[in-house]
Chain A
Amino acid sequence: MSDLTSDDLLAEYLKVQAQTRRQFVGWGAGGLGALFMNSAMAAPPQPHAVPSALNFARDPATPLSVLPPQFAAKVKRVIYLHMGGSPSQLDLFDYKPVLKRFHGHDCPQSFLAGKRFAFIQGVPKLLGPMFPFHQAGKSGAWISDRLPHLEKQVDDLCIIKSMTTDQFNHAPAQLLVHTGDPRLGHASLGSWITYGLGSENQNLPGFIVLISNGGTTANAGKPLWGSGFLPSVYQGVPCRSASEPVLYLQNSPSVTRPERRQVLDAVEEINRENFKTFGNPETVTRIAQYEMAFRMQLEASDAMDIKKEPAKVLERYGAEPGKTSYANNCLVARRLAERGVRFIQLYHWGWDSHGTPVDEGVNVGLVKRCKETDQPTAALLADLKQRGLLEDTLVIWGGEFGRTPMWENRGGQEMEFIGRDHHPSCFTLFMAGGGIKHGISHGETDEMGYSIVRNPVEVRDLHATMLYLLGFDYRKLNYPYQGLDQKLTGVKPARIVSEILA
């Protein structure tokens, strides 16, 4: 073994972490003073001391170790159900009888003046809700007949009808929802939260991504669960719900577990030598990741194996072991929540409803996506509630923007299939779980569903509210990078949505 002990490694790691570019440049001029500064900053954190600035320093061998939140948290974990491509709020939650009355009329000029849409040109026709709506539950929330299962959980939901974004293309809009910025390079929600709180289960990643596919694929791709400027150990780890959960995680048939251990020990020795020479903190991350992968060989297979669930549970979710489906992923999400995974991110792609191909028709593709997701989403909520997990879990469902109250007329032409264009001005998202009111609707759009008339909620407001529920002031959870204390909410003022807090 190398002569570098793990204590040396810790001290060295903290030193490298504390060393910013400016300090490095300052070394030339500052000389010994700078050296002293660095060693002073390398002091390991005292367990019971409470520093005024939030300190996230950890032993590099356990980068996911649990840290307490800034103040008492309402929830301990998040399950984020992202409906990629963006479902139509006007056909699922945001009922507009007046729009229905004007169905087929020309869109009023006041909606079009000075506006730019992704595809709509000229004067499109108004498009009323495609499905019958009714009121459900004690709360009397309006819901379309495409969500018959979710309807039974409607009193557990906090439906925000006034979400708004400034991005009208999928990839940047998805990046904004998941990283707080429409450009690449920022840390995702799950990364921020595992950075801030760590994860209870050291044998599984703290941030797990489960993907199912209803047609198209991820627009923005991997950066949606990337760690951006945060250490890469906090990035999301995609797992599969069919066959091997993580590709190449298991040993090949000719390799035994002790042999694998030997290989890892040898690799670790090389990595330590490498760290001693170059001092790159990412090398320590790599050592920790190899060790976690070794522990995951046992734990991940068990956590992802839904065959272990009773038949009645599989039936409730509509899950079928061995397939890749949203239903399987919802069931896995519950199993991961039970196992102390901090942030569980589900993606179900294929909600884009332009009406260009028939499968993107509001009356075809949207119906299929509802069929694929309605029962599992409802089953997940009911299951978490029944097990008492909804008390300290936050579940979020939503897309990246809304859809227009106009029938898309790509290139100014009338279209064969029924579609709606991207509409960043307003969209619907729902939350359920600890610390928030349930059985309520927040915010309101006008009677055509075109713009928000009451309580607009920006994406950064949603993020600030999430962090508050997890026990953080969004202004305090930050990371120094490029001369700025980076925040999930960015530099614009955000607001915690007090109206929805229980």
Chain B
Amino acid sequence: MSAPAYAACVALVTALGLGFAAWAHPAFLHSSLQNLGLEKAPRAMPGSFYITRIAPLFETRCVSCHGNTRAKGQLRLDSFAAAMRGGKDGTVIVPGDPGASELFHRISLPVSDDKAMPPSGKSPLTADEVTVIRLWIAAGASGEMRTIKGAPKPVLEVRIPESDPAAVQKQRAPLAAAVTQLQARFPGVIIYESRNSADLEVDASLKGAAFGDADLAALMPLKTRITRADFSGTSITDASAPALAAMTALTRLRLARTQVTNKTIGSLASLMTLKSVSLIDTKVSDAALAPLRQRGVLVYGGGNE
């Protein structure tokens, strides 16, 4: 056989092989063309419905088997292009037609079905997750569309407050000495609101009658940092009213079972951040509480008992 004829034979066989591969696995053809830069790979836009809602869902529920490391059924769902390309048996997403889309068909099968996805042993997609995928395919399986009408609300992840120890220490510094000294004088009564904060909480209720007006007055150096205070059951009286009124950061104040009267309540008007106050078993009257109630402060006990 002449050299040109041989070359032609090899070329023909190669072309046939590649042609068969492309026919049998269209995903392979597109993936090869896209990798060679001969075909434009479809991309999803940042902020699109696909990026914000579909990709995270694929990532957490599908990609461990349909991704870079394992691509079962030659299907990968770790990029928009790969998802649209499909797997061994062709495309799995038919834009505009969830019913004809293999991907949707598989995730909506009953758990007991052999073909159901995720396979048995893994938790099935929730109703909301299935709905989101159905609506996205029905709306054209677009990588650009940003919102889809009727889609269930996204699930919010709770953000844990960041902690910056250096910043917190700096905030605590001006009062650190006073806090240490008063914590030693009143063990267990004064505590930082959290490890993230320079704000303080005071709970003198367990001291009972041993805690009085003079003790409350001793807390004055900390007055602007106290956000919650519980003086229930202590022996404080109206003499503490000015000190309480000076605790301008208070959000919650408990004065149950104390001798305080309407006079103290009057001076609480200056506490603009106050959200709730407890006056159970005190002689405070409804009339005195009216202004606080009008401001939306929750009042426990007092004149309404």
Contact pattern, A 440-476, Cβ under 8 Å of B = 1, otherwise 0:
0000100000001111100000000000100101000
Within 8 A of A (CB), among B148-168: 155-158, 160-161, 163, 165, 168
Contact residues in B for A72 (Cβ distance below 8 Å): 161, 193-194, 196-197
Q: Check B206–A200 contact: CB distance below 8 A.
A: yes
- The distance in angstroms between the C-alpha atoms of A392 and B252, with both chains bound, is 10
Those of B188-245 within 8 Å (CB) of chain A: 188, 191-197, 203, 205-206
CB within 8 Å for A52 and B165 given contacts A201-B206, A386-B300, A456-B126: yes
Are A70 and B195 in contact (CB-based, < 8 A)?
A: yes
Map CB proximity to B onto A67-94 as digits: 1 under 8 Å, 0 otherwise.
0111111000000000000000000000
Whole-angstrom CA separation of A391 from B193 in the bound complex: 16
Q: B119: CB under 8 A from chain A?
A: no
| Chain A residues with CB below 8 A from B169, complex form | 48-50
A453 near B127 (CB under 8 angstroms)? yes
Interface string of B127-164 (1 = CB under 8 A from A): 11000000000000000000000000001111011010
B132–chain A nearest beta-carbon distance, Å: 13
Q: How far is the CB of A359 from chain B (nearest CB, A)?
A: 36
Interface code A376-396, partner B: CB below 8 Å = 1, 0 otherwise? 000000000011100110000
Within 8 Å CB of B179, what residues of A? 47-48
Question: Cβ of B158: which chain A residues have Cβ within 8 Å of it?
Answer: 468, 496, 498, 501
The CA of A52 and the CA of B167, in the complex, are separated in Å by 12
Docked CA distance A340–B120 (Å): 48
Residue A110 is within 8 A (CB to CB) of chain B in the complex:
yes
CB-CB under 8 A for A48 and B193, given A110-B110, A454-B126: no
* Residue count of chain B within 8 Å CB distance of chain A: 43
User: B276 on the interface (CB 8 Å rule)?
Assistant: yes
Complex contact B126–A455 (CB within 8 A): yes
Q: Is the CB of A454 within 8 A of B128?
A: yes
Give the CA-CA distance A392 to B173 in the complex, in Å: 28
Contacts of B191 in A (CB 8 A): 66, 68
In the complex, what residues of A have CB within 8 A of residue B63's CB?
none
* Complex-state Cα separation, A501 to B156, whole angstroms: 11
Q: Which B residues lie within 8 Å of A113 (CB)?
A: 112
- Selected from B123, B160, B195, B298, the residue in CB contact (under 8 A) with A54 is B195
Inter-subunit contact A391/B188 (CB<8 Å):
no
- Asked if B176 is at the interface (CB within 8 A of a chain A CB), the reply is yes
Enumerate B250-283 residues with CB–CB distance to A below 8 Å: 252, 254, 256, 276, 278, 280
The size class of the interface chain A forms with chain B is 35 or more
B268 CB to closest chain A CB, in angstroms?
A: 15
Name the residue among A48, A66, A69 with the largest chain B CB count within 10 angstroms.
A48
In the complex, how many angstroms separate the beta carbon of A454 from the nearest chain B beta carbon? 5
Which residues of chain B have C-beta atoms less than 8 A from A387's C-beta?
256, 278, 280, 300-301
Residues in chain B near residue A66, CB distance under 8 A: 188, 191
The secondary structure that dominates the A interface is loop
Nearest CB in chain B to that of A66: its residue: B191
Q: Which residues of B contact A69 (CB under 8 A)?
A: 194-195
| Contact between B180 and A47, CB atoms less than 8 A apart | yes
| Residues of chain B in range 72-125 having any CB-CB distance to chain A below 8 Å | 110, 112, 120, 123
The reply on A339 being an interface residue by CB < 8 A is yes
Does A499 interact with chain B (Cβ within 8 Å)? yes
Q: Contacts A50-B168, A200-B203, A456-B123 known; A71 to B163 CB distance under 8 Å?
A: yes
| CB contact between A340 and one of B112, B180, B205 (< 8 Å): that residue | B205
- A:297-327 near B, CB below 8 Å: none
Given known A47-B180, A454-B128, contact A68–B278 (CB-CB < 8 A):
no
A68 touches B194 (CB 8 A): yes
Does B61 sit within 8 A of A, measured CB to CB? Answer: no
In the assembled complex, the CB of B278 is this many whole angstroms from the nearest CB of chain A, namely 4
> Is there a chain A Cβ closer than 8 Å to B25's Cβ?
no
Q: Shortest Cβ distance from B73 into chain A, in angstroms?
A: 23
| A51 contacts the other chain (CB 8 A) | yes
Q: Which of B180, B183, B206, B278 has the most CB of A within 10 A?
A: B206
Q: Is the CB of B112 within 8 A of A71?
A: no
Complex CA gap A444/B128 in Å reads 11
A258 to B276, CA, bound (A): 44
Q: Which B residues lie within 8 Å of A68 (CB)?
A: 191-195, 197
Please, which residues of chain B bring their CB within 8 A of the CB of A50? Answer: 163, 165, 168-169, 195
Are B254 and A388 in contact (CB-based, < 8 A)? yes
For B110, B128, B160, which residue has the most chain A Cβ atoms within 10 angstroms? B160
Enumerate chain A residues within 8 angstroms of B192, measured Cβ to Cβ. 68
Query: Chain A's nearest CB lies how many Å from the CB of B170?
Result: 10
A residues 23-47 touching B (CB-CB < 8 Å): 47
Which residues from chain B contact A271 at a C-beta distance below 8 Å? none
Complex-state Cα separation, A126 to B112, whole angstroms: 20
Q: Once the chains are docked, how many angstroms separate the CA of A338 from the CA of B281?
A: 14
Bound together, the chains give a CA A391 to CA B230 distance in angstroms of 13
Q: Bound complex: CA of A50 vs CA of B173, how far in Å?
A: 12
Enumerate chain A residues within 8 angstroms of B173, measured Cβ to Cβ.
Answer: 48
Q: Is there a chain B Cβ closer than 8 Å to A65's Cβ? A: yes
Report if A70-B196 is in contact (Cβ < 8 Å); known contacts: A47-B180, A340-B205. Answer: yes
Report B-chain residues with C-beta under 8 Å of the C-beta of A110.
110, 112
Is A453's CB under 8 angstroms from B126's CB?
Answer: yes
Q: Does A202 contact B (CB under 8 A)?
A: yes
The docked-state distance in angstroms from the alpha carbon of A71 to that of B180 is 21
Tell me the nearest residue of chain A to B168, going by C-beta. A50
User: Residue A114 at the B interface, CB < 8 A?
Assistant: yes
Q: How far is the CB of B115 from chain A (nearest CB, A)?
A: 15
Contact A114 B112 (CB under 8 A): yes
- Residues from chain B with a CB closer than 8 A to the CB of A71 are 160-161, 163, 194-197
CB distance from B140 to the nearest CB of A (A): 26
Chain B residues, Cβ within 8 Å of A496: 157-158
In the complex, A72→B160 CA distance in Å?
A: 10
Q: Chain B contacts of A392 at CB under 8 A?
A: 252
Cα(A468)–Cα(B280), bound, Å? 30
Complex CA–CA separation, A52 to B195 (angstroms): 10
The verdict on A391 contacting B256 (CB below 8 Å), with A68-B191, A455-B126 known, is no
Q: Which residues of B contact A339 (CB under 8 A)?
A: 206
Q: A50-B163, A54-B195, A496-B158 are in contact. Are A388 and B278 (CB under 8 A)?
A: yes
Interface residues of B (CB under 8 A from A): 110, 112, 120, 123, 126-128, 155-158, 160-161, 163, 165, 168-169, 172-173, 176, 179-180, 183, 188, 191-197, 203, 205-206, 252, 254, 256, 276, 278, 280, 298, 300-301
Contact surface of A with B, Cβ cutoff 8 Å? 47-52, 54, 65-66, 68-73, 110, 113-114, 200-202, 338-340, 386-388, 391-392, 444, 452-456, 468, 471, 473, 495-496, 498-499, 501
In the complex, besides A48-B169, A454-B128, A498-B157, 9 extra interface pairs with C-beta distance below 8 angstroms are A48-B172, A49-B165, A50-B163, A51-B165, A110-B112, A387-B278, A388-B298, A454-B127, A471-B194
Pairs across A and B, CB under 8 Å, 8 listed: A50-B169, A70-B195, A200-B188, A200-B203, A388-B256, A388-B280, A498-B156, A501-B158
**Closest 4 pairs between A and B when the two form their complex, measured CB to CB:** A388-B300, A50-B165, A496-B158, A388-B278
